[in-house]
Chain A
Amino acid sequence: MALIQITDINKTYTQGKIQIHALKGVTISIHSGGFVALAGPSGSGKTTLLNIIGGLDTVDSGTIIVDGHEYQNMRSSQLANLRLYKIGFVFQAYNLIPVLSALENVEFVMQLQGVSSKERRSRAMKILDEVGLAEMYHRRPHELSGGQQQRVAVARAIVSNPSLVLADEPTANLDSETGKGLLMLMKEMNEKKNVTFVFSTHDPMVMNYASRKILLRDGVVVDDV
């Protein structure tokens, strides 16, 4: 069974009197282990789709099943738990809690999960080493470069071995070299730990790393290769 099974979802935003049909009958199924790019012009519905997969936003119709959980009847606290244990997030920017160091940011999710302090410390250190930030444990987010911040975010997203990482334009704020580095890191983690990545992007270079490209336009899937 697919890790993500989305069937015929519709999403409309109402802004004043205007209705924006952000997703129109989208059906996608993504298997475990994929490295999937969501592409499409601005306003095509990429962020909306990622938010819906992550349980951060709701749909008007259609069904979403992630890792065997059907969203329709889940309470917000259950969705929060699903995110906590199964889904990692990487956003375009402002991913980190500003008052916590890199190490503490990575530990934070495990802290919410109730992992013992000794274990979370060693796991957080290990993962930061893996993403190449061994020297940066104790730096606060504002003491890190944009690329380093995104690496911490990736480390945090995968540290508790989720089934899925959702990344909304993770490279958009980075120069192309740094963006490439981050993407290679994500790819490496995808292969090494068998974590499924779904990420959105405008950037053709970024799309080339994907094992599958889903192209959205005006809330409709127009291509899937």
Chain B
Amino acid sequence: MMYFQLAWRNIWRNPRRTTVIFIAIVMGIWIMISMAALMRGVADGMVRQAIKTLTGEIQIHHQGYRNDPVVENSITDPSELKPILDQLLPQNAKWTARVRVNAIASNARHSSGVTLVGIDPLSEEQVSFIGKKAIIEGKFLDSQDTHGIILGKALVEKFETRLGNKIVMMTQNTQKEIASRAFRIVGIFKADMADTEKNFVFINLPEAQKMLQLDRGISEIALILPKGHAIADMAAQIKSRLSSSYEVHTWRELLHALSAYLKMFDKSMQLWYMAVFIAMGFGIVNTMLMAVFERIREFGLLKALGMKSVSILWQVLCESCLILVMGMGLGNFLSVLTVYVFNQKGIDLAFLAKGAEFVGMSRIIYPNIGWDDLLIVNLTVWGLGMVISLYPALKAARFSPVKAMSYY
């Protein structure tokens, strides 16, 4: 109590100096949290983007498909999966079955390698980006479209074609024969990344099965769990119910590069905290040292009055602690407010969309911060703040009373 009262009055002895440290702490916290939130928003966006781009949160394949994604490695009879999924998955989970195969698309002037995806339009729309909302021209597939195909805008431009034109798809069927078939462009989709638009073309699932002579076979099942559901747990549950002829993977396993990036991301976040803290820390130490050296005489007096060195140490630490906690209070308030506002609106990166595409960022970033981020930032600032305050505090505790008292 005594420490606190003395500390409180001491920090207001020089309001300007206190304000300077205070601002340094507020700014430090604010920069740390806002930037971390932005970075987290980018990472979340990348994950969201990748999951929407036909990955899903969990995928089920036939054994071997991941290593060698050819038609021979297809799931031959998906009907045995349906009851299991219906039983295991929570109510709001969505899933869809696809055929996915490498193909060559060509028209009179151009040809290009693409990924031909046979989808069930209704369920696909719930799981991935492709759906009515992604269509900018024409319409999305319906089950009547036996010869309809959906192309990305970038591919349409590359092929110098347009809605209603024909395009030929050529691929290898299960008999290792060349299968080729002409489709009519019924819709053009837009995606966040031009790569997605160039890579994927969509047709109805039964048409793909016919073309590849797959019968009822499919390449994969992709599913999305309701928000907050433990993905790895569900994947393990599904796996335990399926025979060894199936593979079950989470998006983390499917997207190696992205997972590795996310791991690195946490590390770089900590580095970032440290970098900002070091800048802030110098400010704190300097100002606290100034505050201590200005009061050498007073510390001498306190010792003469019978205050022990340890108590003087506590006294100075208490002053640092007060300023830190006040700065952290305002810093957190401002940061959370900033993050909240930008999280609601999102930050549109359209102005640098070309560059953003390269690294797989989504166009709109929603800064986001977790409790764990907040905790780490605050613990870093408070913990390290106290540790570095030890230096001025030890100085104060070690002044010899005689020297201190003769110091005018």
Contact = CB atoms under 8 A, between A and B. Distances in A.
Interface of A: 47, 51, 54, 56-57, 76-77, 80-85, 87, 89, 91, 94-95, 97-100, 108-109, 111-112, 156
Interface string B298-333: 100111111111110000000000000000000000
B305 A99 contact: no
B301 A83 contact: no
Contacts, number: 64
Contacts of A91: 301, 304, 405
B249 interface: no
Nearest to B7: A99
7 contacts: A56-B304, A56-B402, A56-B405, A80-B303, A81-B306, A87-B306, A99-B9
A112 B306 contact: yes
A72 B303 CA distance: 19
B9 to A, nearest CB: 4
A103 to B, nearest CB: 13
A51 B403 CA distance: 11
Given A51-B402, A57-B402, A99-B10, A76 B304 contact: no
Contacts of B302: 97
B369 to A, nearest CB: 38
B252 to A, nearest CB: 57
A109 B309 contact: no
B2 interface: yes
Contact of A97 (B301, B303, B402, B406): B301
B308 A80 contact: yes
Contact of B301 (A57, A85, A94, A99): A94
Nearest to B402: A57
A100 B6 contact: yes
A54 to B, nearest CB: 7
B241 interface: no
B13 A109 contact: no
A56 B2 CA distance: 24
A99 B302 CA distance: 13
A95 B301 contact: yes
B113 interface: no
Contacts of A85: 306
A97 B311 CA distance: 15
A100 B302 CA distance: 13
B308 A89 contact: no
A77 B308 contact: yes
Interface in B209-235: none
A80 B306 contact: yes
Given A98-B298, A99-B13, A111 B308 contact: no
Interface residue tally on B, bucketed by range: 20 to 34
B13 A108 contact: no
Interface in B371-405: 401-402, 405
Given A98-B298, A99-B13, A89 B304 contact: yes
A94 B305 CA distance: 13
A163 to B, nearest CB: 13
Given A76-B309, A97-B6, A99-B10, 18 more contacts: A51-B401, A56-B303, A56-B304, A56-B405, A57-B401, A77-B308, A80-B307, A81-B306, A82-B306, A83-B305, A83-B306, A84-B307, A91-B405, A94-B297, A94-B301, A97-B298, A99-B6, A100-B9
A51 B297 CA distance: 15
B149 to A, nearest CB: 81
A47 B298 CA distance: 18
Given A98-B13, A99-B13, A112 B305 contact: yes
B266 to A, nearest CB: 44
Contacts of A156: 305
A98 B402 CA distance: 19
Given A56-B402, A57-B402, A100-B6, A89 B305 contact: yes
A81 B303 CA distance: 10
B306 to A, nearest CB: 3
A108 B402 contact: no
B18 to A, nearest CB: 13
Contacts of A54: 304
Contacts of A87: 306
Contacts of B406: 47
Nearest to B302: A97
Identify the interface centre among B6, B303, B306, B401: most chain A CB within 10 Å of its CB: B306
B70 to A, nearest CB: 80
